[in-house]
Structure 1
């Protein structure tokens, strides 16, 4: 029984109708932005943790 999604020669149905889709670099940009967000979030958490440690140290004096 032929696949509903791969009807001819393993080509997806959308490719048969509209031709193969080529990414224009926007996916690479999105990946870069996500990586940057993760790095900045980690830096923020590290800074917040350090600040909390300093606050506790001064509160205990």
Structure 2
């Protein structure tokens, strides 16, 4: 009988992410996290309802 080779196969190396993929992943996580916080009642982005009316914003030339 032939002997079987019982050496374990090498484990595959984890795939490295490129810089662009990492930025997109972090941006997506940030957006999901901020939406989840807003749904729970936390203010993530401050928005003001005040607006300033400017009289004659452009000078006539």
Do both proteins adopt the same fold according to a TM-score greater than 0.5, normalized to the shorter chain?
Answer: no
Structure whose residues are more often helix by fraction: 1
TM-score, scaled to structure 1 = 0.39
Which of the pair has more CA radius of gyration?
2
